[in-house]
């Protein structure tokens, strides 16, 4: 990335612009005032010439080595003179003098090619005219006496303030123009020198007091950015930079100490991680051996148990055919059969869960009719339901579409749902198997099968964990219903293998509804994104669409 202007260059540029702007604004006043001062001085010279002419006679005729055109013009000569530049000046002066009796002189400055032209007019009123006339008579023998007609004109004189004539002094001064130029050159040179000196002094001050410490701190920051935490600034300027340097060095000390502690913790964590890895390998192997042992033991337990159940059924049949059989013997044989069947059911559940955990569960996907599965299941569960006085009812939507699934695994899921519904429902109630077409939240078409009972329902605090392993609503030793707590967990595992989803809706005291959504088209298990939140993933897996 292109680097911009440095802080030092920015400060110098901005300060230079500010200095020259301030100096330019400050020197603009004497620059402009120089011309005014020279004009004021020339006005004063003209007044002195006029005063000398009035007081000391009429012999003054040169200024700065050049003749001074001095003329006395009577009012009637000005009024009836031909038009021209001088006449315009005189007419302006005449109008000013006649408008203000206290006004004594009129001055004008004009720049010309050879210099600056100054024109001065002094008002000569009636009282001054009489004094000049007397003085002219005293100088009657002087060769310098002006050839003027000093006679008065009574018809035009009204008072002592009446304007009679105008003394005109017309001078061109090259010296005044040179003075203005010299003064302005001095002002300009002084401003440039002052500006350069100010920038130089500012540069030296900034370089030693500001830029030097800033560059040191910036170099330390760059070293830290490169990964070195041992570098220190250690400034000794006695000002805010020194305090900033101490704070920066203290921060680096704490950072370096934190890195040392972090390295020590990382080493400890590496050791712990190695130990955990070894423990994990051992636990995995132990879990695998446990699953294999459980599967083998469960399989081996089924053979003698089947024999026990078979012989118990044979004894039960003999007892039923023997009219003289003791009723206690039939009751005892019935208890043996019931306990053996319950034990066989639990062993089958343990065997199936062990197969699932060991990855030995296989599914066979093919066309399946949900309607046939539901009706067959109702027929299978009817003897068990009639024994308890419970009616099993099916409500199947017309034109229910077929699905791609494993019919046996789907029937097992529904068998567990219906078996639990019959087990926990009171006598004289109804268990309903409902099947209809639906759609999940992601729009996937499915067949939704619901098993609705009228039992006690599931408590709210158990509804989120009811599908976990070894979870039972009544887990006490005095519970009324036996079981391993694996039935619903097996249902969830089987549903995941089939690409389906199970869910529960229940209000305590008003029964429970167990639901399985079977996709019409089997797509297999899909891996979840690694960055997906675990809570959202869990809810997506446990909650079917539209429930």
Of 210-214, 372-376, 505-509, which range is least confident? Answer: 210-214
- Other CB atoms within 10 Å distance of the CB of residue 393: 12
For 437-458, the pLDDT digits (tens) are 988 878 889 999 999 998 888 8
Mean pLDDT of 500-527: 84
Which of 215-224, 265-274, 456-465 has the highest average model confidence (pLDDT)?
265-274
Buried b (16+ CB within 10 A) or exposed e, 296-308: eebeebbeeeeeb
The predicted-structure confidence for 230-252, as pLDDT tens digits, reads as follows 788 777 777 777 788 888 888 88
- SS3 of 394-421: EEECCCCCCEEECHHHHHHHHHHHHHHH
240-321 and 327-358 helices, crossing angle to 10°: 150
Confidence of residue 513 (pLDDT cuts 50, 70, 90): very high
pLDDT band at 81 (very low <50, low <70, confident <90, very high): low
Residues 287 and 278: their CA atoms lie apart, in Å, by 14
Q: Which residues contact 315 (CB under 8 A, 6 or more apart)?
A: 333
Q: Are 403 and 409 in contact (CB under 8 A)?
A: no
Least confident of 36-45, 83-92, 204-213: 83-92
CA–CA separation, 376 vs 251, rounded Å? 77
Strand order in the sheet with 105-111: 70-74, 163-173, 116-125, 105-111
Binning pLDDT at 50, 70 and 90, where does residue 546 land? very low
Q: Cα–Cα distance between 265 and 267 in angstroms, integer?
A: 5
For the stretch 260-277, pLDDT in tens is: 899 899 988 988 988 888
Please tell me the distance from the alpha carbon of residue 421 to that of residue 491, in angstroms, as a whole number.
14
By mean pLDDT, which of 79-88, 191-200, 481-490 is the weakest?
Answer: 79-88
| Structure confidence at residue 149 (pLDDT) | 59
**C-alpha to C-alpha distance for 305 and 344, rounded to whole angstroms:** 7
| Angle value at C-alpha 337, between 331 and 340, nearest 5 degrees | 140
Q: What is the pLDDT of residue 544?
A: 39
Residue 444: the pLDDT is 86
Least reliable range by pLDDT among 6-15, 57-66, 67-76: 57-66
CATH architecture of 365-524+532-542: 2-Layer Sandwich (3.30)
Which run of H or of E encompasses 135?
helix 126-138
pLDDT band at 540 (very low <50, low <70, confident <90, very high): very low
Does the structure show a pLDDT above 90 at 435?
Answer: yes
Give the pLDDT band of residue 533 (cuts 50, 70, 90). very low
* Annotation: CATH topology of 233-361: Helix Hairpins (1.10.287)
∠ CA 87-93-97, rounded to 5°: 140
> Rounded distance, CA 124 to CA 166, Å?
5
**What pTM did the predictor assign?**
0.43
Q: Tell me what the mean pLDDT of segment 520-532 comes to.
A: 63
User: What's the pLDDT score for residue 458?
Assistant: 86
Spatial separation of the C-alpha atoms in residues 279 and 273, rounded to whole Å = 10
If one compares 297 and 534, the residue with the highest pLDDT of the two is 297
User: Does the structure show a pLDDT above 90 at 293?
Assistant: no
Higher per-residue pLDDT: 169 or 175? 169
Q: For the chain, count helices (H), then strands (E).
A: 12, 13
Per-residue confidence (pLDDT) for residue 509, from 0 to 100:
84
Higher pLDDT, 232 or 3: 232
Q: How confident is the model at residue 475 (pLDDT cuts 50, 70, 90)?
A: very low
Confidence class for position 217, pLDDT limits 50, 70, 90: confident
Confidence of residue 8 (pLDDT cuts 50, 70, 90): low
Q: Is 100 exposed, middle or buried (0-12, 13-18, 19+ CB in 10 A)?
A: exposed
The contacts of residue 300 (CB under 8 Å, 6+ apart) are: none
Label residue 83 by pLDDT band (50, 70, 90).
low
Q: Is 358 exposed, middle or buried (0-12, 13-18, 19+ CB in 10 A)?
A: middle
Q: Where in the chain is the domain with CATH 1.10.287?
A: 233-361
Largest alpha-carbon pair distance within the chain?
A: 196
Choice between 540 and 125, residue whose per-residue pLDDT is larger? 125
- pLDDT in the model for residue 524: 66
Return the DSSP state at 439.
Answer: E
Domain limits, CATH 3.30.565.10, in the chain: 365-524+532-542
Residues for the chain: how many in total? Answer: 547
Alpha-carbon separation of residue 278 from 273, 275, 281, 283, 285 (angstroms): 9, 5, 5, 9, 11
> Angle, to 10 degrees, between the axis of helix 174-206 and the axis of helix 7-56?
160
Average pLDDT, the chain: 77
32 has pLDDT over 70: yes
What percent of the chain is modeled with pLDDT above 90? 7
Structure confidence by residue, pLDDT tens digits, 112-171:
766 778 888 888 888 888 777 777 666 555 555 555 555 655 544 457 788 888 888 887
Quick one: pLDDT at residue 530?
Answer: 46
**Confidence tier at 84 by pLDDT (50, 70, 90):** low
Instruction: Judge whether 199 and 15 are in contact, CB under 8 Å.
Output: yes
Q: Minimum mean pLDDT among 216-220, 431-435, 499-503: which range? A: 216-220
Report phi then psi at 515, rounded to 5.
-125, 140
Mean pLDDT on 478-500: 73
Cα dist. 489→194, 357, 471, 502 in Å? 93, 12, 8, 10
432 falls in which pLDDT band (50, 70, 90)? Answer: very high
Gap between the Cα atoms of 205 and 212, Å rounded? 10
For the ranges 31-35, 56-60, 244-248, 333-337, the lowest mean pLDDT is seen at 56-60
What's the rounded Cα separation, in Å, for the pair 119 and 475? 126
């Amino acid at each position: 990335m292109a680097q911009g202007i440095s802080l030092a260059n920015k400060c110098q540029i901005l300060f230079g612009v500010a200095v020259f702007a301030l100096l330019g604004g400050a020197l603009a006043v004497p620059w402009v005032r120089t011309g005014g001062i020279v004009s004021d001085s020339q006005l004063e010279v003209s007044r002195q010439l006029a005063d000398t002419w009035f007081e000391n006679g009429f012999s003054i005729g040169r200024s700065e080595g050049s003749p001074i055109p001095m003329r006395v013009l009577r009012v009637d000569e000005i009024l009836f003179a031909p038009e021209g530049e001088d006449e315009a000046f005189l007419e302006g002066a005449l109008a000013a003098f006649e408008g203000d009796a206290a006004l004594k002189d009129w001055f004008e400055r004009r720049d010309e090619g050879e210099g600056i032209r100054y024109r001065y007019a002094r008002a000569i009123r009636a009282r001054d005219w009489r004094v000049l006339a007397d003085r002219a008579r005293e100088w009657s023998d002087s060769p310098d006496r002006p050839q003027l007609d000093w006679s008065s004109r009574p018809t035009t004189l009204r008072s002592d303030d009446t304007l009679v004539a105008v003394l005109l002094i017309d001078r061109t001064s090259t010296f005044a123009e040179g003075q203005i130029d010299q003064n302005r050159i001095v002002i300009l040179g002084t401003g440039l020198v002052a500006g350069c000196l100010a920038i130089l002094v500012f540069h030296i001050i900034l370089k030693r007091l500001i830029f030097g410490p800033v560059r040191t701190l910036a170099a330390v920051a760059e070293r830290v950015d490169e990964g070195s935490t041992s570098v220190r600034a250690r400034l000794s300027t006695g000002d805010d930079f020194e305090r900033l340097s101490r704070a920066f060095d203290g921060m680096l000390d704490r950072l370096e100490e934190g890195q040392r502690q972090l390295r020590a913790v990382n080493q400890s964590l590496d050791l712990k991680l190695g130990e955990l890895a070894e423990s994990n390998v051992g636990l995995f192997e132990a879990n695998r051996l446990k699953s294999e042992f459980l599967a083998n033991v469960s399989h081996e337990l089924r053979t003698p148990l089947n024999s026990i159940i078979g012989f118990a059924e044979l004894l039960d049949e003999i007892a039923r055919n023997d009219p003289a059989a003791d009723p206690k013997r039939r009751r005892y044989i019935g208890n043996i059969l019931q306990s053996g069947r319950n034990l066989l059911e639990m062993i089958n559940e343990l065997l199936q869960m062990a197969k699932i955990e060991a990855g030995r569960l296989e599914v066979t996907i093919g066309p399946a009719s949900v309607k046939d599965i539901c009706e067959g299941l109702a027929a299978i569960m009817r003897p068990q339901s009639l024994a308890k006085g419970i009616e099993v009812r099916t409500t199947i939507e017309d034109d229910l579409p077929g699905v791609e699934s494993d019919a046996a695994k789907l029937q097992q899921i529904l068998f567990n749902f219906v078996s639990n519904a019959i087990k926990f429902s009171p006598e004289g109630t109804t268990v309903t198997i409902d099947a209809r077409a639906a759609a999940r939240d992601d729009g996937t078409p499915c067949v939704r099968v619901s098993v609705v009972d009228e039992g006690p329902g599931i408590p709210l605090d158990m509804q989120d964990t009811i599908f976990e392993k070894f979870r039972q609503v009544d887990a006490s030793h005095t519970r009324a219903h036996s079981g391993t707590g694996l039935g619903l967990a097996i249902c969830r595992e089987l549903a995941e293998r089939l690409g389906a989803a199970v869910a529960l809706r229940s209000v305590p005291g008003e029964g429970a509804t167990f639901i399985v959504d079977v996709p019409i088209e089997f797509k297999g298990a899909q891996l979840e994104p690694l960055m997906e939140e675990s809570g959202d993933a869990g809810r997506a897996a446990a909650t079917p669409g539209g429930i």
